[in-house]
């Protein structure tokens, strides 16, 4: 459903009902590296999104995330894993970014299944912070004053996740005139710009060819 010829990256959608053995094996593989992972043999309610890097030898499994076909809590990720040989390459961030691109296609707000592991919480906080600061800084340049609801509509992140992220980054204040005022200090803008220069790969929405399935 996704192919980036420049970066040699692809993402495959695998239905747990149609490819039960493969998805069960992916869950078994995850159990080796995720202490909090509960082993589920009932994979039919889930879709699996597998990211690969391809070369002349074929496709190499980098990581994946699973997602409930129908989540009453609006979770867009149930489990996420980057295989150890490919960690520290930003694959986890790409998988997270991809999960939100799917949420945008569905026109639904999304959030990872809670509670998050310590590593998962750090990873998501980093992604949320960078994504929100980028929008706020760009909006500021255009003379726009984005609020939490604006950010939610643009990113498909849940309002609770946005508020918690901005509060942790100390950019959302509480004043009598504007209880949700957002102010980004210059030093935080500088740190953000330096960090974004190191992130060279992003999900290109134009390369995502996917239509949300209807299960009812």
Known catalytic residues are: 113
User: What is the phi/psi pair of residue 90, to 5°?
Assistant: 80, 15
Tokens found for residue 70: 């129908």
Q: What b/e sequence results for 64-95 when a residue is b if at least 16 CB atoms lie within 10 Å of its CB, and e otherwise?
A: bbbbbeebeeebbbbbbbbbeebeeebbbbbb
Query: What is the Cβ-side half-sphere exposure of residue 66, based on CA atoms within 13 angstroms?
Result: 22
Cα–Cα distance measured from residue 178 to residue 4, given in angstroms and rounded to the nearest whole number: 43
Give the CA angle between residues 53, 116, 163 to the nearest 5°.
Answer: 105
């Amino acid at each position: 459903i996704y192919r980036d010829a420049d970066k040699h990256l692809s993402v495959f959608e695998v239905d747990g009902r149609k490819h039960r053995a493969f998805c069960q094996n992916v869950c078994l593989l995850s159990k080796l590296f995720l202490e909090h992972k509960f082993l589920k043999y009932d994979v039919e309610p889930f879709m699996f999104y597998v990211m690969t890097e391809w070369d002349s030898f074929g496709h190499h499994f980098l990581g994946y995330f699973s997602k409930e076909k129908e989540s009453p809590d609006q979770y867009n990720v149930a489990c996420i894993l980057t295989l150890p040989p490919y960690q520290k390459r930003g694959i986890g961030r790409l998988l997270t970014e991809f999960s939100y691109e799917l949420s945008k296609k569905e026109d639904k707000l999304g959030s990872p299944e809670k509670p998050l592991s310590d590593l998962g919480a750090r990873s998501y906080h980093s992604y949320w912070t960078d994504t929100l600061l980028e929008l706020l800084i760009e909006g500021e340049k255009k003379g726009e004053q984005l609020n939490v609801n604006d950010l939610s509509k643009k990113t498909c992140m849940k309002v609770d996740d946005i508020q918690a992220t901005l509060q942790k980054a100390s950019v959302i204040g509480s004043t009598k005139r504007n209880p949700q005022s957002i102010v980004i200090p210059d030093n935080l803008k500088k740190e953000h710009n330096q960090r974004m220069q190191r992130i060279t790969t992003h999900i290109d929405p134009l390369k995502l060819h996917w239509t949300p399935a209807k299960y009812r």
